[in-house]
């Protein structure tokens, strides 16, 4: 599985590892930040919490990943990656 991703992204093992670390750190920081922001609005995790949390995380994730990618040297990869995702959402060409 990892070899297929590495070949698809056309990167070496070091860059592949940094990309994976960026995904992990970006996702984790996004979840923590979303939880932190919602703790100001809601005091308990009710159904309203989850209704707000999911769209909030969806909006925060690209920002968190781009910020984390800068110190790991993967900003260009993630800028292109998010651009491709955005084009797919819009229904455009890759």
| 77 within a domain of the structure (yes/no) | yes
| 4 within a domain of the structure (yes/no) | no
| 18 within a domain of the structure (yes/no) | no
| 16 within a domain of the structure (yes/no) | no
CA 26 to chain centre: 5
Q: How far apart are the first and last CA of the chain?
A: 22
Backbone φ, ψ for residue 12 (5° rounding): -85, 175
| 61 within a domain of the structure (yes/no) | yes
The low-confidence residues of the chain, meaning pLDDT below 70, are: 92-94
Best CA proximity match to 19, nearest among 77, 67, 58, 83: 77
Domain that holds residue 34: 24-87
Q: Quick one: pLDDT at residue 92?
A: 61
Q: Assess contact for 64 and 26: CB atoms under 8 A.
A: yes
The three-class DSSP label of residue 45 is coil
Number of domains in the chain: 1
> How does DSSP classify residue 43?
S
| 9 within a domain of the structure (yes/no) | no
Q: Quick one: pLDDT at residue 76?
A: 94
| 6 within a domain of the structure (yes/no) | no
Q: Quick one: pLDDT at residue 89?
A: 82
pLDDT per position as a tens digit, 78-90: 999 999 888 888 8
Give the pTM.
0.81
């Amino acid at each position: 599985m990892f070899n297929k991703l590495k070949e698809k992204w056309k990167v070496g093992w070091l860059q592949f590892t940094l990309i994976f670390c960026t995904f992990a750190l970006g996702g984790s920081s996004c979840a923590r930040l979303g939880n932190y922001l919602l703790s100001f609005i809601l005091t308990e995790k009710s159904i309203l919490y989850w209704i707000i949390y999911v769209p909030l995380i969806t909006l925060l994730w690209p920002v968190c990943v781009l910020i984390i990618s800068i110190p790991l040297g993967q900003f260009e990869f993630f800028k292109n990656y998010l651009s491709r995702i955005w084009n797919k959402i819009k229904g455009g060409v890759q």
